Structure 1
Amino acid sequence: MPKAAEKVIEMKDVSNKSIERNWGNFGFDHNYPLVSRSSEMKDIFALIKKIAKSNATVLIHGETGTGKELIAGLIQFISTRSTKPFVKVNCAALPENLLESELFGHEKGAFTGAFQRRKGKFEEADGGTIFLDEIGDMHLTTQSKILRVLQDQEFSRVGGNQVIQVNVRVIAATNKDLIREIDVGNFRSDLYYRINVVNIQLPPLRNRREDIPLIAEFFRRKFSQELRKDVPGFHPETMDLLIHHNWPGNIRELRNMIERAVLLEEERKPIMPQDLAMPGRDYFAAGGKDRRKQSSTIMSLSTLKLADVEKEVILKALKMTNWVQKDAAKLLSISARVLNYKISIYKIKHPNWRKYSS
């Protein structure tokens, strides 16, 4: 194991300063379990530390976007195979006949279009680790061949008779309930027990909300650096929305949302709630009662006349967005053209608007 990695792994409690130092050295793939305040994630990391140096097969289970591939990469990174190949295969991305060729390779002439011999992923991973993502979507025929590799560490290429021996560690992942898949006949029970030597259950992001500020902050720094933009942080209300959002897409959804927000935010301004690509229903659900209560007390209306109320709401939206009309329109969920028309009707002016400056 690399000395630098060992130093990071032995940390029991990670402070913000130490996280900041290690981000620069490793990157999110290897810091992901460390950047956590969740006791469940700390237990997972302790388990990874125990089993990483062994050759035990690992099954990672979790919802889409929870970071299964990142965990597999971490196991490889701190294992004795860290300098050897780490080969990834998405079992759901290819049909059965192509997946078999992808995994085991094929001989010349094995099928139409097989113009030359080709090595498979298991051969490429020899000495290292192969990560079988979405193994629950694998066809039963291919499952039986995977079982043989796990039992005997040998296989034959498609269309060939030569027995090829390999030394490969297998890490598998799925978002399916494999016990249920066994019951309905979609997954082999013998393969399940072979890959389930070590089982890691990744919690969804909504069950580890204490980690959302840390992960969001990491992505803000990452994309600010990549895009060379000075986006200093998050508005408090923005972070509150992130913490209370349900995150059906988990970490992948959070990553995409922060990337978009950094991309669209202006220089030297924090990420505001309206910068989040969050559907209206989710936006208000994440805000909860406190947010709605705050919104109702922001303005004290002196009238209930519809036109006056509408003008006050538009003024409030403009003030909240520093009088940037396109941002105010977004906050009001109307088009910029409609807002411009309303501004004209209500004769709203501001010195920063060029047509009113003289």
Structure 2
Amino acid sequence: MTDARPSSRTDKEEQRSASPDFLVLVIDLNPFAWLKNSPSQDGAAAFEAIKTTLTTTMVFLNAHTSMNHGNGLAVYGATNGTAELLYTTATYTEAAKIQKETDVNVCLPFEQVDDAVFIGVRRMLETSCAKDRNANNTVGIVRALSLALCHINRMAETLQLGEHHGLASSTLDTNGPMRRNDGSNPGSDTFRFRIQILSVTPDASTQYVPMMNCIFCAQKMGIPIDVCHLFGEDPVFLRQASHLTGGHYYNLKSLDGLLQVLMTVYLPSRSIRPLLMFPAEDDVDYRAACFCHRRVIDIGYICSSRQRYNDEKVLSLLK
């Protein structure tokens, strides 16, 4: 009789290598950007495009949660100047506790995710559209990215205190995964974090320094930032964020291909990404923004005289 121990050992090794992912999705809901890129700038067409995009995104999120029973998820919405948490599977949040009490027998809460995201998006759009149209220059992506990093960091601290699932200890290694180790089956319950951004808003040079702070934080925590730009010109800062953190950037040519891009480029977990071929990024724009005039520039000069700091011909460049 053939000994089954080698195959059993192989199964355990495969299980350990298939670490669950925790995906933090940031959806750009700036209504003015959607309206600007809609046919004839029609409001009804813009909201229909948002609805179609959300429906496609829900398919992607459901596929993510079904890939691994241990996969986690958090969804943030970003409008003009603000950001809000729409859904999360983190158990320390009040929203997760309410969802858990709804139906404890639900293993993969697809309906809960859909309801929470659609209701939250409707609320954010109603609030955002009520604001002044001049507020469309402010960007909520940076705020949402900061909240996403804080959300991940709080999960790490919660697990380190042994409050998540009653486990004893956890660590966050330099490659990004959060380890929840209670001594049994080590390695099979490792969270590998990543952030996914669906953007539509152009760059704002005033957000350069906050964006760079988020990039440095993500680099230190080992968290890749994936960016899928739905329409318009390439955002310089978000493309830098994706490239510098080891994420993947894709500029979508048409919303009709969104589902295919999400399922082929962004669905694979971090554990198998090194084995896949992704679109090359050879022409990343690394230009910075000047301090005094908040413009993206090619060449900048630093003036030693404070009296000329506001001179239009003198640009202060952040290196």
* TM-score with structure 1 setting the length: 0.24
Tell which structure's C-alpha radius of gyration is larger. Answer: 1
* TM-score with structure 2 setting the length: 0.27
Higher helix share: 1
